[in-house]
Structure 1
């Protein structure tokens, strides 16, 4: 029998939103409702295996029921904006899954479901309805069941006719009479005052329907009950009418329109990746129906070998370096796989590291190799004393350039999108977290071998996509050479003083102790400052500060709440200090101590080259780009970073205002360009233009405001955002931005044109043709569309600045070799490069570093580089 599943979309999405914490993806977009709904949907599909599927939505706030009762659903709270912005993605998700969704003006989702369930039953379908609304129980009948969501998003109770009778003591169609008598507070259906479920069921047991009750009203026992019924007859009949689902609504969708093939699509993979739903992506790996050539990884024959013959290592070949631990720095290799025209081979780690033919092939630059991640493979092999050469194609970097939303995507998913099915994700194969391990037996040979085979098949397909996007140069001349530079930096590491960090920890402990006593004295009592509950009671009950926000568990003491309370009591500043320094100690002092390599005494951070949407590098294990430097205590953390050789110095080179210079170039604003060409302080210049004053009349406050606008413009700041940043009214902020854009017409024109271009193309590009796709640029949802517009303005600037420093790193690495210098590049942090330099090379480094960085790319304005050196990173300022 064919099966139709009908889902009450609004109800399930709302339940998901309130059942899950307010999750967001790496772009800051809220995703909890989408995630909960998707999880529920996948569970339903897996369990019910429907041949037909439809998700029904309400079309608007007004329905035909409001003609009968204008206060129907009155009193409901406005939908939170955090939920509203998720609905467009729910629709996108359904489209990507091939699931029909439908809404009808003046009708509700339950009318759509009621009408379709009736038609489907007449056509011989089995029907399953999924909702959290008990009203739907009136639709239960032969082969029509309701799964009622009881709790959260996955706990359901199934109702057929017998179960409705058992639970309510009435027939399913009697649910409308039940509502007529007892009403429904959630829908603002009044019913008869004083009648609850128990009384209503008793009356219906005796009289069957609401009409039956009034036809035999004299038989009702109980004077008060009878009185209530008599006084509210019209209301009871009206309540029954509006609780009745219309099973003959004028829908334009048929049962056959709801056919469901359960085929995952590349669009679905892209969307789930964009939303950050990695666990759901893993479930879909290998399930794509876009199989271009009918290829399946399961068909690959993998040959385990104890050693390689030279004939088995032909070129080009694909190389997979298996790794269990995501932190690949210490060379925890689980095995090797090679695939080429002669076959696909697997060799165990120890045998591979001893095999001379294999080691020669790895280090031979004339023998081309396709790899998944060249940096990862190169660093892992460096720890084993082997230099990887001859990498001709990096699959991870290629897919990332084609679409940054594929950042970090497992090879199984990348392959599935391009017609190579049947691969298993690493997480599915090895396990997750503490349970991650290499399975026993020969399973890993097949897993790594199929990955190597997939790399060979992917290369021409990815190369074709790169050519279409005009991005080959970006891969071969920028990202792949940069991967080699980064692998060298990661392996080299930076010397870190345990003693300095311990001393800082002790100093922070002393400071925290003083702040703690200050807080107790101000509060007049000792309490757990880290307990939001206890802190809330002190602030809002004992000290009587105004309540800003409440949570389910009490008062909110989040950072944004405390910021709004600043100035109302001296305790607030001390609490903020306490939190900031506490985080500094735990995250940076104690955190850095944990990641110093016991053998080298260095920190070997991992640079994420294919992660951010803008192309900027980020770092993990540890994140050295996030050390707070606004606080002096934070800046002092840099004292722990030292040269690894005696008599050497830490040398720092920092681009000055690179993003504003890129803006001047891209926007082609003559006035902005001239300010940089003349070497003016750009914030002073902006203050002069915006406030209409001479240079000597610019006050520090004017300059601060101008600086906020300069950097805010880059990020598409709104009048509200600027007003919050610099503490002025929204009206003044709007006037400020308007004056700025009038002063720099090129910038205004750029902002307008780039958004127009993004709407037309669906993406924006950097100076070097790096792309960022903006699927929401034409969204009907204001918040979603506005975020995409700001991203369109910002990405070409921030992404181009990222490209510039990457070019500088490649050119700097080359120059160090040409000059035969001992100096080493250690770190890249935002717009800053850090080197360790022998004292006798300081003079030449002061000359060549600004020269190389300043000429990394040709812009219409000069690139300014500030250099300094000292005995620690802190001193190099």
Structure 2
């Protein structure tokens, strides 16, 4: 006789895990669905893998249970359920009803008790029981016919416990899990346990004495004076904690096992709900009609190919796609134009578009509202053709980035897919990838571009609604949108390069590398390939007998961190490190920059990524001008090759001083930090004074160096290990240093504790201008994932607010330059620095207006400070 398979699901536990495992998602009605989606994927996986004949999902009925009579503070201190999750519980219940899965809750009892009672009812050879939960308490239910699947990462990665696994993991029986909780407590449920007794001690005691009661009766036999005292003093707490942790397996439930039968039907109710929730990928997988629909070719789209363009066809507003391959838009290599408006759908071939005065006038008319899928790309590609795009009121790429900062792609096909509108092929599907990339025939090209424009028109209202719901209107319309226009102008303008100087630098570096190479050979007594890790490892660790710090599968590790630790062991190590640095400078920066100089303009036109970093920071590629290594003098000298593009002009550089520390002072509201900045004290000296308890004249350079490391480290959530590595001190010393820092600046410590708790509650953190970063790993049981998320929660509001400030300064600076009628051009943004080129006669004005604009970009409780300088090259403007 085959067994019945009963699956019991801890509804609250799985819903919580699903909510925090996924970023906030909402359907086209703006309803949050991430917890429902995660719960659904778990449910479908369980149905597929377990093939249950019976199912029950148990929920907690309310905040108060019978356990509160024993201990009023039971589950006290728990964060309030985020409203974004609360509103999804009715949808989860609706989902279960659609699947015809029995759900149950009981006043004064928890889901654990319902599951425990049902598992006891099914304790016979006729039943095979599987419990799905994220709560270790339920391990006490494991038995001959009961296994417990504990969610590990997210909701679909689980550890399944049977009797053997419980024994292997804890060395205890399932019944003793209750005793373990009695001794060690459980912070998540606010079960006190015996103070000072952890899991290790609890398990050791139970292996010897079996139960809490036996432990308490045998206190005199237990070794360790302190442990004896704790057990004696907290006997009642231990007994009460065991009682609180014990699942009631005789709860007065009225649900019977034969009421819980489950038939695996993908009913119309499920399909209807999936459609309402926007679960299109699940529909395609589990609904045959939806799957057939997905396999069908996209619906035919009607459009006109224009060879003559009239104002009537272009309309008074519309969505426009100016199609370029990503790496070619700086050449003005436009593949075609797609325009969709209330009049119709149009494709305009490039050669016709660029000759049409009507279209050009429409593009340049700032009164005509236009939606684009990438405003910056459109601006730059048209600028190369002498056309100045105006009137862009919505950029779908930027909107998608603000709403989903962790996503890697924000093109129209990706946005449409995320919104459940799979009506556009990906660019990769149409053009190919990498070396195989090519432009398709005219029919395929025109249809793809028009489909993108049509989908752009469709997604804009949905994106607008989400931006408004997230209260990001100001961030989007008044900062990011204007910034895309500023960046477009900067990209098209480019920065002049002295090619001859760059080439000379390359020659100088080659000569220097040869000298170092010769010196290395002399020091080791033989020639070898310095760039070969294998040969270098043999020289260092076999010939020279240096201590091998790390080994890899292929031999000795010669990574930079290994060599840094060997610097004092042999003179050659320093030379090898220097050789590597100069080699990288030459290949990556000298040769790399020469490859990307535009031969017509003799300028470098870097591309700014506005929709990449989750903190909101800008980055640059092709080439990355933010990564030129300036700590090394040879690297800093590369900036000598960047010069003004006009005669008698100079390079003008301005940068924020310690902007992130100033933002930290404001956000943390730490009185000492605020006072230090308001009184214009050297913040690193001030930190050294407070941490080392010395007067200003007693602060040594080494003390200031350590204080500087911890100041900047704190911004990035540095650990004792990280600080010990950067300062070359022991981990214990670093830990003490951080502790003294927090004692000196309690506001900072309070901020860090509060922001982590806030992130756990909300699932995200925000900057001063309401930029969001989602942190699904903040509640992970995986220590490394959770720690990273906690550090990210601490530093994102600081880094992100600093990024917002410099972006605001760029937008305001562009407006000010125009208002003052200056010829000065903004060329680059490098971290906290803005680079301009300017006529010498405008320098006096810039010295006045640049600090004014940058320091007033956003008002905070400490002054923003800007340093500036100018010279004949970027290097001289330091």
TM-score, structure 1 normalization: 0.69
Q: Residues of 1 paired with 2:803 and 2:352: CA distance?
A: 41
Q: Residues of 1 paired with 2:162 and 2:510: CA distance?
A: 63
User: Post-superposition shift, 1:627?
Assistant: 0.5
Q: Could you say what secondary structure the match of 2:725 adopts? A: helix
**Aligned-CA RMSD value:** 3.6
Mapped contact 1:411–1:451 kept (Cα < 8 A): yes
Mapped contact 1:58–1:104 kept (Cα < 8 A): no
- Aligned position for 2:718: 717
Query: Are positions 1:701 and 2:702 aligned together?
Result: yes
Q: Could you say what secondary structure the match of 2:597 adopts? A: coil
Mapped contact 1:52–1:255 kept (Cα < 8 A): no
Mapped contact 1:501–1:640 kept (Cα < 8 A): yes
CA spacing shift, 1:652–1:288, aligned 2, 3 Å: farther
Q: Residues of 2 paired with 1:265 and 1:536: CA distance?
A: 58
- Work out which of the residue numbers 95, 98, 103 in structure 1 matches 2:160: 103
Q: Could you say what secondary structure the match of 1:649 adopts? A: strand
Q: Residues of 2 paired with 1:484 and 1:289: CA distance?
A: 41
Q: Residues of 1 paired with 2:603 and 2:376: CA distance?
A: 19
CA spacing shift, 1:753–1:429, aligned 2, 3 Å: same
- Aligned position for 1:377: 378
Query: Are positions 1:487 and 2:488 aligned together?
Result: yes
Mapped contact 1:605–1:622 kept (Cα < 8 A): yes
> Which residues in structure 2 correspond to 1:463-478 (within 5 Å)?
463-478=464-479
Mapped contact 1:566–1:572 kept (Cα < 8 A): yes
User: Post-superposition shift, 1:103?
Assistant: 2.6
User: Post-superposition shift, 1:780?
Assistant: 0.8
Mapped contact 1:375–1:483 kept (Cα < 8 A): yes
Mapped contact 1:297–1:420 kept (Cα < 8 A): no
Q: Residues of 1 paired with 2:603 and 2:695: CA distance?
A: 51
The one-character-per-residue Cα deviations of 1:225-274 (angstroms, maximum 9, x if unpaired) are xxxxxxxxxxxxxxxxxxxxxxxxxxxx99967989999999x999x9xx
Mapped contact 1:54–1:258 kept (Cα < 8 A): no
CA spacing shift, 1:417–1:264, aligned 2, 3 Å: farther
- Aligned position for 1:416: 417
Mapped contact 1:296–1:422 kept (Cα < 8 A): no
Q: Could you say what secondary structure the match of 1:514 adopts? A: helix
CA spacing shift, 1:108–1:357, aligned 2, 3 Å: farther
The one-character-per-residue Cα deviations of 1:741-771 (angstroms, maximum 9, x if unpaired) are 1111111110011011000000000000000
Q: Residues of 2 paired with 1:829 and 1:531: CA distance?
A: 34
Query: Are positions 1:626 and 2:627 aligned together?
Result: yes
Q: Residues of 1 paired with 2:261 and 2:637: CA distance?
A: 68
The one-character-per-residue Cα deviations of 1:172-192 (angstroms, maximum 9, x if unpaired) are xxxxxxxxxxxxxxxxxxxxx
Q: Residues of 2 paired with 1:707 and 1:265: CA distance?
A: 54
> Which residues in structure 2 correspond to 1:327-476 (within 5 Å)?
327-476=328-477
Q: Could you say what secondary structure the match of 1:406 adopts? A: coil
CA spacing shift, 1:515–1:294, aligned 2, 3 Å: closer
The one-character-per-residue Cα deviations of 1:681-736 (angstroms, maximum 9, x if unpaired) are 10000000000111111000000000000000001111111111101111111111
- Aligned position for 1:798: 799
- Aligned position for 1:558: 559
- Aligned position for 1:870: 871
Q: Residues of 2 paired with 1:263 and 1:554: CA distance?
A: 59
- Aligned position for 2:325: 324
Q: Could you say what secondary structure the match of 1:652 adopts? A: strand
User: Post-superposition shift, 1:309?
Assistant: 2.2
Q: Residues of 1 paired with 2:860 and 2:311: CA distance?
A: 49
Q: Residues of 2 paired with 1:729 and 1:321: CA distance?
A: 57
User: Post-superposition shift, 1:544?
Assistant: 1.0
Q: Residues of 2 paired with 1:807 and 1:58: CA distance?
A: 47
Mapped contact 1:297–1:450 kept (Cα < 8 A): no
Stretch of structure 1 that moved more, 558-567 or 635-644: 558-567
- Aligned position for 2:550: 549
TM-score, structure 2 normalization: 0.69
Query: Are positions 1:766 and 2:767 aligned together?
Result: yes
CA spacing shift, 1:367–1:395, aligned 2, 3 Å: same
Mapped contact 1:52–1:258 kept (Cα < 8 A): no
Q: Residues of 2 paired with 1:262 and 1:582: CA distance?
A: 60
- Aligned position for 1:569: 570
Q: Residues of 2 paired with 1:790 and 1:665: CA distance?
A: 19
Stretch of structure 1 that moved more, 657-666 or 328-337: 328-337
Q: Residues of 1 paired with 2:362 and 2:612: CA distance?
A: 30
Q: Residues of 1 paired with 2:597 and 2:717: CA distance?
A: 40
- Aligned position for 2:527: 526
User: Post-superposition shift, 1:327?
Assistant: 4.1
Q: Could you say what secondary structure the match of 2:410 adopts? A: coil
CA spacing shift, 1:491–1:88, aligned 2, 3 Å: farther
Query: Are positions 1:836 and 2:837 aligned together?
Result: yes
Q: What runs of 5+ residues in structure 2 fail to find an aligned partner? A: 1-40, 52-129, 144-150, 167-259
> Which residues in structure 2 correspond to 1:25-424 (within 5 Å)?
52-53=48-49, 91-92=154-155, 94=156, 103-106=160-163, 298-424=299-425
User: Post-superposition shift, 1:411?
Assistant: 1.7
CA spacing shift, 1:770–1:580, aligned 2, 3 Å: same
> Which residues in structure 2 correspond to 1:647-666 (within 5 Å)?
647-666=648-667
